[in-house]
Amino acid sequence: MTDDHISDERTSTEPLLAVDGLRVHVRTERETIRAVDGVSFELCRGETVCLIGESGSGKSVTCESLTRLVPEPPFEIVGGCVEFEGRDLFAADTGRCRRVRGDRIAHVFQNPQSALDPVYTVGEQLIETIEIHEDVPKTNARDRAIGLLRQVGIPRPADRIDDYPHEFSGGMCQRVAIAIALTAEPDLVVADEPTTAVDVTVQARLIELLREVTDGGTSLLVVTHDLRVAAALADRLLVMYGGTIVERGPIEELFERPAHPYTQALFESYAGRSAGSDRTARGDVPADGCRFRSECPHAVEACSDGEQPPFYAVGDDSDRRASCVHYGPGNDPGAVLEAGATIAEAEGSDD
Amino acid sequence: MTERFPKGDAEADRAGASDTNSPLLEVDGLETHFPITTRWLRREVGRIRAVDGVSFAIDRGEAFGLVGESGSGKTTAAHSILGLEEPTGGAVRFDGQLVDELTGWELQQFRRRAQLVVQNPDDAFNPRLPVGKSVAEPLALHGMDDEERRRAIVADLLERVGLEATDANRFPHEFSGGEKQRLSIARALVVNPDLIVADEPTSALDGRVKADVLSLLDELRREFDIAVLCISHDIDVVRRFCDRVGVMYLGELVERGETEAVLESPAHPYTRVLIGSIPSLDPSDRSLVRPLTETVPAPSDPPSGCRFHPRCQELIPPTASLEREDWRAIARFRFALQEGTVPEPIAVDSGTRVDPETVRDAFDLPTDLPNEGIEDAVEAATRAVADGDLERARERLAESLSTVCERTQPEAGDECEHLVRCHRYDSTIEAEPIPWRG
Ligand code: SF4
Ligand code: SF4
């Protein structure tokens, strides 16, 4: 869909992760769904990027495809490449991919239970992970496991290390899962809805914990449907809709004035009481042209041409891009931008 | 809507005669305790006080939100109101009548007039039945035998909730999560209820689908003048949807009032923690409020006095001479020891000895306190912790730092426009409310 994605990122430092034109299909008996349809982005060292979208936008599949965690089949990575520190993760033999996946890129999921085995104590699981990654004697591994538990804020870690996952609350389980993710001191943590299953007071602590992780220099890719979580964590935001990224930019500018009509619709769903939508319940995503056009209040004829529109710069802001024809050359995006500012203001006053 | 479930004659009578000023639902001191029994003799050894004296009323057509975190008892409260769980105390009145005294036809009417919408619509639909049949089920259950009429009502309702009449012939798996929730709303509406109890109605949904389902529910309740009791952990849902809100903590209702008043200027320290934990939509404001300590006590063994006291940032000091920040540090020290969370580098569990100074630093404990008794207690406790004797430290602090918050259960305070159960709003207690974000 776009060729200028590399140049439109900050290129001052070499990116840690570069995703280019990623395409993932899901084959079912009846049809083939283009779950991820040409996704490109970069992530720098120490940076926190949020991939935001609703269920079915393809955000989770994108993240799980980076390290080929998606089950193939039914998923199939049909195109694109993922580079980690300049090395092609897809071209590399699977052994190396696995090593990078385990050592350098760690995953944290919405449901920590999926990362923890109920029949082993958290200590056994942590120690096992430690021993996979480094050659250490058992007692040192245990000390290191206790240290990791303390680092992620488990009270009385030396007492708790021999407990089973079910003896921990949901929030504490997620901390343990983060501890396991941190054992190999990864360069990148990919967290998929890491705070969705917990209460807000627990979420607040997990957000602080994730901030600590990035303060230590680790990069973070957070997948979320929650604008608030994005606002709390991200340096940059990627907005995903219908398998593609439709808007990207630094968090503060983007929140101040969402540019893409889809992003605006997402913000609107947070605004005041009863957004009064008359959208039909069943919105199908078109297969060509702008994926959002059947729901877009700003749609024009050009929106159904060809593929998803390329990324155009939003205003004078060199870091911001929207995949919408109104930002294209010769068009005046004034009305669309204005709508974004109004929505952001309404949502802000409600906060 | 052309046709709905007909109201019974007796009911229409009563509606004419009944005092329309009385609320539709009145919950008075509701209490639902679960016994903890031994496995062998089933002897009761304790009680989980899931709901412990909750009161509120909902008017006809009003939306009332009950918020709280897991373990707060909000869902048990909702279930107790509907009779799905048997209350152990208090009274629930529907249209002025005690619900637990209803029998026969009246009980049936109550079951028709008060409908439940659950979080996960999958639980509400039989996967092998066309959804039209499931939506019509309550009609048949309440005695509508005419299948043609049932079909017509369902077709009508499906369109009203944003689906199509022909959808009645499709099966649950053919619908998205949002559509399924629309179906369960249709199913609740089909018997023409006066009250819908919506238990986390949008928790399984996100983004615009969630907003749409909420808007739909809002439209419908206004159109048909249905009261809604909305149980949610999601403050955004309550803010958008509810006229009034009650906040629950460990089985008790700690604050209750107009949504705007409670959410925009929360009075109770727990409500403040709840609201302050929600990340702002302004990315330049990344502050998050913290309670004094993290651990939520078990509802089987709630703290004495005010149940929130070991976590309360606004805990009332034993003497007015203490600076707020100093007192907070001391209280945090005390309750952190009580819950067993000791910060680095005092890893008491690993047996490492530290010196008292390290303990003071780790807890940011103030020195030169104006009150000698407290100064001594903190000093002694610091030494005890340094020696690894947490028990002695705990006792020493509990002895000298006793606060009214742990001794007396707070009543509704008279220094706030709406209900707040906190001593700071009680004019007979010598402690002033602290301004929100003050
Ligand atoms: S390209 Fe057209 S349909 Fe797509 S977001 Fe822009 S205006 Fe809307
Ligand atoms: S009564 Fe005391 S402990 Fe309870 S909320 Fe009020 S100030 Fe806090």
pLDDT tens-digit readout, A118-132: 899 999 999 988 888
Q: How far apart are CA B344 and CA B361, in angstroms?
A: 10
**Do the domain assignments include residue B255?**
yes
Is the model's pLDDT at B14 over the cut of 70? no
A156 vs B284, more confident: B284
**Do the domain assignments include residue B295?**
no
B377 vs A2, more confident: B377
B237 plus B375 within the same structural domain:
no
- pLDDT range class, residue A103, cuts 50, 70, 90: confident
Q: How far apart are CA B391 and CA B381, in angstroms?
A: 9
Give the closest-approach CA distance of A253 to chain B in angstroms.
9
Q: Name the residue of chain A whose CA is nearest to B212's CA.
A: A277
**Do the domain assignments include residue B297?**
no
Token digits of residue B25: 């639902």
Query: How many Å lie between the centroid of ligand 1 and the Cα of residue B215?
Result: 25
- A213 SS3 class: helix
- Of A84-98, A326-340, B387-401, least confident by mean pLDDT is A84-98
Pick the most confident of B202-211, B340-349, B389-398. Answer: B389-398
Which sign does the torsion angle of CA A117, A122, A123, A125 carry? positive
Q: Which of A33, A282, A263, A291 is nearest to B209 (CA)?
A: A282
Nearest alpha carbon, ligand 2 atom 6: B422
Model pLDDT, residue B53: 92
Q: How far apart are CA B235 and CA A14, in angstroms?
A: 41
Q: What is the mean pLDDT of residues A200-229?
A: 92
CB atoms under 10 Å from CB of A193, counted, come to: 19
Is the model's pLDDT at B377 over the cut of 70? yes
The answer to whether A138 faces chain B, any CB pair under 8 Å, is no
Q: For tokens 């608030």, what's the residue?
A: A228
**Do the domain assignments include residue B248?**
yes
B28 plus B145 within the same structural domain:
yes
Give the closest-approach CA distance of A234 to chain B in angstroms.
8
Q: What is the mean pLDDT of residues A240-258?
A: 92
| B292 close to ligand 2 (CB < 6 Angstrom) | no
B164 plus B252 within the same structural domain:
yes
Q: Which phi and psi angles does B246 have, rounded to 5°? A: -120, 140
Q: pLDDT, tens digit, for every residue of B290-305? A: 999 988 898 888 999 9
B13 plus B153 within the same structural domain:
yes
- pLDDT range class, residue A228, cuts 50, 70, 90: very high
Model pLDDT, residue A350: 47
Of B221, B244, B264, at which residue does a domain stop?
B264
Q: Which A-chain residues 41-80 have CB contacts (< 8 A) with chain B?
A: 53-55
Query: How many Å lie between the centroid of ligand 2 and the Cα of residue B336?
Result: 17
Find the length of chain B. Answer: 438
Is the model's pLDDT at A284 over the cut of 60? yes
**Do the domain assignments include residue B436?**
no
Model pLDDT, residue A281: 41
Model pLDDT, residue B225: 93
B223 plus B370 within the same structural domain:
no
DSSP classification of residue A52: E
Q: How far apart are CA B326 and CA A161, in angstroms?
A: 34
Model pLDDT, residue B253: 96
Q: How far apart are CA A103 and CA A187, in angstroms?
A: 8
Average pLDDT across chain B, whole number = 87
Model pLDDT, residue B308: 97
Q: What is the mean pLDDT of residues B313-336?
A: 91
Is the model's pLDDT at B165 over the cut of 60? yes
Q: What is the mean pLDDT of residues B397-416?
A: 91
Model pLDDT, residue B347: 56
Token digits of residue B158: 């499906």
Q: Name the residue of chain B whose CA is nearest to A54's CA.
A: B207
Q: What is the mean pLDDT of residues A308-321?
A: 83
Contacts of B240 in chain A (CB under 8 A): 272-274
CATH number of the domain to which B166 belongs: 3.40.50.300
**Do the domain assignments include residue B287?**
no
Q: Give the one of B211, B279, B290 whose C-beta lies nearest to A231's C-beta.
A: B279
Q: Are B197 and B114 in contact (CB under 8 A)?
A: yes
Is the model's pLDDT at B363 over the cut of 60? yes
Is the model's pLDDT at A206 over the cut of 50? yes
Q: Give the dihedral of Cα atoms A181, A182, A188, A193; nearest 10 deg.
A: 50
B177 plus B250 within the same structural domain:
yes
In the structure, how many helices (H) and strands (E) does chain A have? 11, 12
The answer to whether A37 faces chain B, any CB pair under 8 Å, is no
Q: Give the one of A54, A150, A232 whose C-beta lies nearest to B209's C-beta.
A: A54
DSSP assignment of A257-317, as one string? S--SHHHHHHHHTTSSS-------S--PPPSSS-TTTTT-TT--GGGGSSSSPPPEEETTE
The answer to whether A269 faces chain B, any CB pair under 8 Å, is yes
B220 plus B333 within the same structural domain:
no
B159 vs B41, more confident: B159
Token digits of residue B187: 């199913």
B74 plus B169 within the same structural domain:
yes
Model pLDDT, residue B82: 94
Alpha helices in chain A (DSSP H): 59-66, 94-99, 122-133, 138-151, 157-160, 170-182, 200-215, 227-233, 251-256, 261-268, 334-349
**Do the domain assignments include residue B293?**
no
| B273 close to ligand 2 (CB < 6 Angstrom) | no
B128 plus B42 within the same structural domain:
yes
Model pLDDT, residue A348: 57
What is the DSSP pairing of strand B244-249 with strand B252-258? Answer: antiparallel
**Do the domain assignments include residue B294?**
no
- Residue numbers of the domain that contains B375: 317-402
CB atoms under 10 Å from CB of B175, counted, come to: 20
Q: pLDDT, tens digit, for every residue of B267-294? A: 999 999 999 999 999 999 999 999 999 8
B88 plus B165 within the same structural domain:
yes
Q: How far apart are CA A294 and CA A262, in angstroms?
A: 11
Is the model's pLDDT at B247 over the cut of 90? yes
Q: For tokens 């709840």, what's the residue?
A: B274
Q: Which B-chain residues 341-400 have CB contacts (< 8 A) with chain A?
A: 341-342, 344, 347, 349-350
Q: What is the mean pLDDT of residues B72-81?
A: 94
DSSP H or E stretch at residue B333:
helix B324-339
Model pLDDT, residue B346: 64
Token digits of residue A215: 């303060």
Q: How far apart are CA B86 and CA B33, in angstroms?
A: 9
DSSP assignment of B177-209, as one string? HHHHHHHHHHHHHTT--SEEEEESTTTT--HHH
- pLDDT range class, residue A279, cuts 50, 70, 90: very low
Q: pLDDT, tens digit, for every residue of B196-228? A: 999 988 888 888 888 888 888 999 999 999 999
A320 vs B437, more confident: A320
Token digits of residue B189: 């509406």
- pLDDT range class, residue A275, cuts 50, 70, 90: very low
Of B247, B264, B281, at which residue does a domain stop?
B264
Q: pLDDT, tens digit, for every residue of B166-192? A: 999 999 888 888 888 999 999 899 889
Q: Are B227 and B95 in contact (CB under 8 A)?
A: no
Model pLDDT, residue A273: 34
Model pLDDT, residue A249: 94
Q: How far apart are CA A173 and CA A293, in angstroms?
A: 41
Q: How far apart are CA A327 and CA A5, in angstroms?
A: 16
Q: Name the residue of chain A whose CA is nearest to B205's CA.
A: A55
CA B261-B265-B269 angle, to 5 degrees, is: 115
Is the model's pLDDT at B339 over the cut of 90? no
B222 plus B350 within the same structural domain:
no
The predicted model scores a pTM of 0.89
Find the length of chain A. Answer: 351
Q: What is the mean pLDDT of residues A17-31?
A: 88
| A309 close to ligand 1 (CB < 6 Angstrom) | yes
B125 plus B227 within the same structural domain:
yes
Adjacent-strand bridge partners of B65: B230, B245
| A322 close to ligand 1 (CB < 6 Angstrom) | no
A344 vs B328, more confident: B328
- pLDDT range class, residue B81, cuts 50, 70, 90: very high
Model pLDDT, residue A235: 95
Is the model's pLDDT at A236 over the cut of 90? yes
Is the model's pLDDT at B15 over the cut of 70? no
Is the model's pLDDT at B343 over the cut of 90? no
Q: How far apart are CA B62 and CA B242, in angstroms?
A: 8
Is the model's pLDDT at B78 over the cut of 90? yes
Number of structural domains, chain B? Answer: 2
Q: What is the mean pLDDT of residues B25-47?
A: 86
B114 vs B38, more confident: B114
